[in-house]
Amino acid sequence: MPKKIMESREELRTAMIDAAERIITEDGASALTARRLASDLGIAVGTTYNVFRQMDDLIGEVNSRTIAKITSVISAVDTTEHKSIELLMAYADAYIGFVTGNENTWAALFVADIDPESESHKRNLSQTLRLFGYIEEALRAISPHADQTEIEASARALWAAVHGMLSLMAHGRHTILGLGNVREAIQILITNH
């Protein structure tokens, strides 16, 4: 039966990431197994390993897409409509909105032993760092006279705090910090900044 499951290798690769993304979206990252993927695509288990070095690399590719979506959600916030602190909260709300609407794909960002040498991880890292820019800009609007390094540090701290709070949620600590409380907690953090 073998030979040419699709026109190009790149096409197969994309189809696999599509399928992986769909599985994660519907049933969570733990449902993404080599056999489930193969079955969904109607291919053999081994085929995955002709395209990806390991299963986790596939998650890394799906994560890339998720981060890209987050970036687009953040960049879609109207910076002219919100003033100073409100802008930060608008960013936070946009992010919270994405998380609640995409729980499974978002939670997948925190699973797996990601290979630090993998291409997807490096890409994800640089794209994440680019998100800091938005926060820095908002902070600079609030404190125009603060020096750059201070703003960078604040942006990192704020981002880490927000991301961290949400990641606590992702690991089932809902009882400690419910979704409703998360927004409140973030607001406290931001307004006190």
Partner DNA sequence: TCACTTTTATGAACATCGTTCAACACAAAA
Partner DNA sequence: TTTTGTGTTGAACGATGTTCATAAAAGTGA
Residues that bind its own copies (CB under 8 A): 110, 113-114, 116, 125, 128-129, 153-154, 156-157, 160-168, 171-172, 175-177, 181-182, 184-186, 188-189, 192-193
Is residue 16 within 8 A of residue 51, CB to CB? The reply is yes
Phi, psi for 66 (deg, rounded to 5): -60, -45
Q: Whole-number minimum distance, CB 73 to DNA, in Å?
A: 29
Tokens 């006190």, residue located: 192
* Binding of residue 164 to DNA (CB under 7 A): no
- 2 binding DNA? (CB under 7 A): yes
Q: Does 43 bind DNA (CB under 7 A)?
A: yes
Least distance (Å) between residue 94 CB and DNA? 32
Applying CB under 7 A, among 23, 32, 109, 162 the residue interacting with DNA is 32
Residue pair 62/20 in contact by the 8 Å Cβ criterion: yes
- Residue 36: contacted member of DNA, its own copies, none (CB under 5 to 8 Å, by partner type): DNA
Q: What is the DSSP string of 82-128?
A: S-THHHHHHHHHHHHHHHHHSHHHHHGGG-S---TTSHHHHHHHHHH
